[in-house]
Each structure stands twice: as C-alpha cells, then as structure tokens.
Amino acid sequence: MMEQKKVAIIGAGVSGLAACKFTLSKGLIPMVLEARCDIGGVWTETLETTALQTPKEMFQFSDFPWPKSVTEEFPRYNQVLDYLRSYVQHFGLLNHIRFNSRVVSIDYEGCSDEEMKGWTQWGGSGEAFDERRKWRLNIVDARTSIPLPAIVVDFVVLCTGRFCDIPNIPKFPPNEGPEAFKAGQVLHSLDYSAMDSDTASNLIKDKRVTVVGFQKSALDLAMECANANGPNKPCTVLYKTEHWNLPSHHPWGIPLSFLYMNRFAELLIHKPGEGFFLYLLAVLLSPIRWLFSKIVETYVIRKNRLAKYGMVPTHSFLQSISACFIATLPEKFYDKVDEGSIILKKSQSFCFCEEGIMIEGATEPICSDLVIFATGYRGDQKLKEIFTSTTLRDYMTFHNSMISLYRLCVHPRIPQLAVVGFTESTSNLFTSEMRCRWLAEFMDGTFKLPSIKEMENDIAKWEKTLKHYSGPFVKRACIAILHIWYCDQLCKDIGWNPRRKKGFFADLFLPYGPLDYVSP
C-alpha cells in the first residue's frame, strides 16, 4: 500500500482552511501551521468597525452557506470569525491545525538548483509529487521563538496572505522620516488593529490624528477617530489618489453583480487566450462596457457629493474594479467631512517634521499627535523570504508586484509547492476555494501540468490583460472582472463542465457565485 502524502499548509486563514478541507477529502494528510493562537488570519486582528467588503452570498464556502441567523448583507468581523470556526468544526479540521507554530524558512531537498533549472516539466514530470524530493520546514514556537522539530513533507501550500505581518512603510530621505517627529507617535494600521478596543480608543482619544492612505483601513480609521474626537480634534486623511469608494453595491438600484459578475459582463472585455470571435465581440460591445462604468461613476459622484469635495477620480471605475481598488465607504463618511471632523488633504509626497507632517508645496505643517500609516502590506516580501534557496527567492520575486503564477497558484519553476490567497478578486474566499479544489484534484492525479514554457506563456497572456485594464494600478494582481473566465479554466482542468447554470439566459446574465460550484 502506498504511503499517504503529507501536505504542509502555512496559515490558517480562509485559504488555509479551504486547502486543509480539500486535501483531507482526497485522503492526503494535511498539517496546517499557524503562527497565531486562533484560526481566521487577518480577521483575528482587525478594527472594531471592520465588516465584509463583499456581500455575504459572494463570501461563503460553496458547501457551507451562511447560517440563517446572519441577516446583514455585510457581516461584521466577529460574525465572519464565527462562520469560519463553524466551518472548521463542521469538517473536522481542528485536529489538523498546529497553533503558535511559525514557519521561519523552507528548504527543498533531494535536488540541486542546477538540476531544477534544466527541467522542461514542472518538478521534472508535471506531477504533484516526487518520491525522492521533499520540503523541510523549519519552525519556531511563535510565543517563545524556541525552535521546534523540523517537519518533512511532500508538498507545501503557502496561504500566508497578502494583508498581514509585513507593513508597507513609505521610504523617506535621512532626517525626514518618523524620527524627525518629536511631538507624537507613528505607527502602522497593523499595530493599531492588534490592540484591544480599550487600548485603541485611549490611544486616539483627544488626539489630532493623521491617517496616511485612502483605502479601506484608512477610511475605517478616519471614521473611528472622527467619532471619538469630533471637529475639535479633527482627523486628517492624507491621500495621493481619489478612488471610487462605493456607498452601496446597488448603483441606481442595479446590483453591482449584474454589471460585473456574469458572463455577459465578461463578453465586454478582452480575455487571456480568447479566440477571434470573442476578441471581435469585446470590440463591438465596448460602448456597453463604457456605459456600465458610467452607471457606477455617476451614482458614486452624486451619492457621495464628490464634486463638492474635489474628490472625483480621474480614472474610470473599470480601472478601479480591474485592480481591486474599490472599498465600501463607511456610512456618513462625507457627513464627517462636512462637520469638520475629517479633513481631506491630497499630496504626492510628504515628510515628517517636529510638529507633524509637511506636505509638498505647503508652508505650514499638519500638526499631529499621532500618525497612522494605512499604506498596505508587503505580502510579496513574505512569500519570497520564506525560501532558504536564493534561486527560489529570485523566482518568487514579482516585477511590478504582478504575480508570476500559473492558474494564479503554481510557480512554473518551483516544484511541489502552491500559493493560495495572494491574488485578489471580488471575493477572495470564493476564488481561494476554487483554487484549493483545483489543487486537490492535481494532487490526486486528475491532471498533469503543461510544460514550463506553456505555463509561462499563459502567465504572460494574463499579465498583459490585467495590465491593459488596471492601468496605473497594475501592481495589484486582481482578477475581479475575469473571475468566471478564470474559474472556467480551473473547471476544464479538473474535468467539470464550466457552464454552471441551467438555461442559456441564466448562464449569460445571472451573477456567478460560490454556490454555483458546490459539486461537479
């Protein structure tokens, strides 16, 4: 009898849990290594006001719907955590998770870097496993940093996420960074999110806070500060670019999913690897693509009174959604701007001074007691630095932060390893689950990978398409406007019919979501 294969899954967030469930279903032995003491990834340390950005019907596991007791369209973070814990309990995953286990590095054993470079097939054969080659994981206890026994496995799934652990801090010239700020404190939203609610409330109370950034964390932080301090100690939001932050997911009463998440919407855009007919159709239907973008833009401009505040973006909504650069605006955000509790300041660059922040072209500083960077994370750095081998580190270096992965999951030149949950979509849980399903079928021998050259050509086509629609925001690997085309490819690989709905019109016009992929 063949020995069961061991699969190490690094991270117990949404992607890690799905990876555990699907590998288990194929008779493999999953081992989830989580540095925290709980499941949930980014949901375990977040702002008190954080809620889902995606309507819950799009953010759910295909075979485990939300309970009827959750009636909100956008559940709060604690409801999301409860939902994930129920999933773990329902599928019996807890026994396969090791908490407080931080993976510091991984080594590929049984093959030299030179031998690897000579391969034409992934791992030399295009298959998931190789008896002679293994991964060794070096682990420490996350609480004490004491080394734990190394683990040797047949396959590694990196579910380390994009939005945690390594903060993205802007670089400053000497003596113009946070060290020049004598009047107060500087931290990243990561540090603020890790605090309990009382500590966080006390930190911002009666302080002039400056928040750097204009994405979801920045907006939520600004609202917390505005609610705590009002116009007497206003919160300044320092941003570079205006964005299409949505007041709701129903512009002019039309669900956003009908404009961007069905097959008809994908006929309006060019797709990687499309034939001549689909290319021609996207050209002919481009006026409708423009119209859909305008429907959302006019709604957001009017509803948020953007013209009044000089906050109308110069790029299209299509570019924003193509790059996953959209967030749901906190309720009454612009009312707080009106009352003077939030001050919006635009600047391409800034530096620190003794009293606070000096923006480009200003003569007076923005006097602050606290500066919070809501400037994102360096998930790419985390992926790269886990490898001991410099060759593998170089492979995992993303140029322009585009991610060079086949099916957004497997690096053509790194064997017996997959990455899940790094690229974004309109619902990261949905696409992560599909990827885990595909990965489990691959490990089970349902299909083999194409040659390294074919995979690299496919990646190049995806990159070209994503760059075309994302414009200046191409640094984010996002498949929001192509998630059905992407899932179609995964379905074809694993032998499923990609058409998931009954009837021609239903398949063309109804939005596609997780429940469409519950079974073959």
3-state helix/strand/coil string of 42-110: HHHCCCCCCECCCCCCCCCECCECCCCCCCCCCCEHHHHHHHHHHHHHHCCCHHHEECCEEEEEEEEEC
Whether the model pTM is above 0.85: yes
**What pLDDT sits at residue 399?**
63
Q: Is 373 helix (H, G, I), strand (E, B) or coil?
A: strand
Residue in the block written with tokens 């000497």: 174
Q: Which two tokens stand for residue 78?
A: 């604690």
**What pLDDT sits at residue 163?**
74
257 neighbors 365 (Cβ within 8 angstroms): no
Rounded Cα gap, residues 275 and 485, in angstroms: 13
Walk along the chain (520 residues) and give the pLDDT tens digit of each residue. Answer: 468 999 999 999 999 999 999 999 999 999 999 999 999 988 888 877 788 888 999 999 999 999 999 999 999 999 999 999 999 999 999 999 999 999 999 999 999 888 999 999 999 999 999 999 999 999 999 999 999 999 999 999 999 987 777 888 889 999 899 999 988 999 999 899 888 888 999 999 999 999 999 998 999 999 999 999 999 999 999 999 999 999 989 999 999 999 999 999 999 999 999 999 999 999 999 999 999 999 999 999 999 999 999 999 999 999 999 988 888 899 999 999 999 999 999 999 999 999 999 998 888 999 999 999 999 888 788 888 999 999 999 998 876 556 689 999 999 999 999 999 888 888 889 999 999 999 999 999 999 999 999 999 999 999 899 889 988 777 667 888 999 999 999 999 999 999 999 999 999 999 999 999 998 8
Length of the chain in terms of residues written:
520
Q: Which two tokens stand for residue 274?
A: 């499309």
Residue 194's identity, in one-letter code, is A
124 neighbors 133 (Cβ within 8 angstroms): no
Closest residue by Cα to residue 518 from 457, 430, 411, 453: 430
Q: Is 270 helix (H, G, I), strand (E, B) or coil?
A: coil
In whole angstroms, what separates CA 505 from the centre of its chain?
31
Q: Which two tokens stand for residue 513?
A: 């979501």
- What pairs with residue 387 in β-bridges? 106
271 neighbors 465 (Cβ within 8 angstroms): yes
Query: With 0-12 CB in 10 A as exposed, 13-18 as middle and 19+ as buried, what is 252?
Result: exposed
Write the CB contacts of 303 (distance below 8 Å, at least 6 apart in sequence). 247, 248
Residue 346's identity, in one-letter code, is K
411 neighbors 201 (Cβ within 8 angstroms): no
**What pLDDT sits at residue 1?**
46
**What pLDDT sits at residue 2?**
60
Residue 443's identity, in one-letter code, is M
In whole angstroms, what separates CA 389 from the centre of its chain?
26
Rounded Cα gap, residues 6 and 10, in angstroms: 13
260 neighbors 292 (Cβ within 8 angstroms): yes
- What pairs with residue 33 in β-bridges? 10, 98
Q: Which two tokens stand for residue 44?
A: 């375990």
Q: Which is it for strands 155-158 and 147-153: parallel, antiparallel or unpaired?
A: unpaired
Rounded Cα gap, residues 518 and 513, in angstroms: 10
Q: Is 202 helix (H, G, I), strand (E, B) or coil?
A: helix
**What pLDDT sits at residue 471?**
81
Q: For the chain, how long is the longest CA-to-CA vector?
A: 77
